[in-house]
Chain A
Amino acid sequence: QQQVKQSPQSLIVQKGGISIINCAYENTAFDYFPWYQQFPGKGPALLIAIRPDVSEKKEGRFTISFNKSAKQFSLHIMDSQPGDSATYFCAAGNAGGTSYGKLTFGQGTILTVHP
């Protein structure tokens, strides 16, 4: 069974700190790795995504680091803010054809940023 393993389950950081969430995948056919942010009562919203041809992608305070040989990728949130408090999901899938959108998700990480 295709799996994506995410850790930690929960994370508490202080305002201004760095939040790091890690994911590992098994299926080497995956070529699309998005991160989703979800607030209570809302659907997941795409935060940032990466393809395996690059090792890092940065958008504002959010950075994805990707290690293809280790089959691991991580989300770094710099200068974490209380408004970043949410559940974060990593996912993996394929970017083309009918397989796109058929994402395999990690278990989720509940991030709490204290003021």
Chain B
Amino acid sequence: DAGITQSPRHKVTETGTPVTLRCHQTENHRYMYWYRQDPGHGLRLIHYSYGVKDTDKGEVSDGYSVSRSKTEDFLLTLESATSSQTSVYFCAIRSLAEAFFGQGTRLTVV
């Protein structure tokens, strides 16, 4: 699992509430990524980081923000959750020539 821990693993939240997902890595990787997985869409990049406090938008960044104040933690925040953000969220790191994914967080917005 390349030392990646996502938390929580499951969450149910109400529409309009803020939600923060955490990705923690133990191997000092510089590059980290947040993807969402939806049926029929594969995985789509939300945001990524190439260092502490260095982040950029991905393909589907609207409604999401990220922060990286420490190398080991990359946080994904839904400022005001909507039903369209119900999904499985994956964190990934870059190690040498490969991308490794965490176990995922299943988020349900009701």
Contacts and interface: CB of A to CB of B under 8 A. Distances in A.
Contact of A44 (B41, B44, B45, B101): B101
B99 A107 contact: no
The SS class assigned to the B binding surface is: strand
A101 B31 CA distance: 8
Nearest to B29: A101
Nearest to B91: A43
A42 B45 CA distance: 18
Interface residues of A, number: 25
A107 B40 contact: yes
A54 interface: no
A43 B100 CA distance: 9
A43 B50 contact: no
Given A43-B103, A43-B104, A46-B98, A105 B44 contact: yes
Interface of B: 1, 31, 33, 40-45, 48, 50, 56, 58-59, 90, 92-94, 97-104
Interface of A: 1, 4, 6, 34, 36, 41-46, 49, 89, 91, 95, 98, 100-108
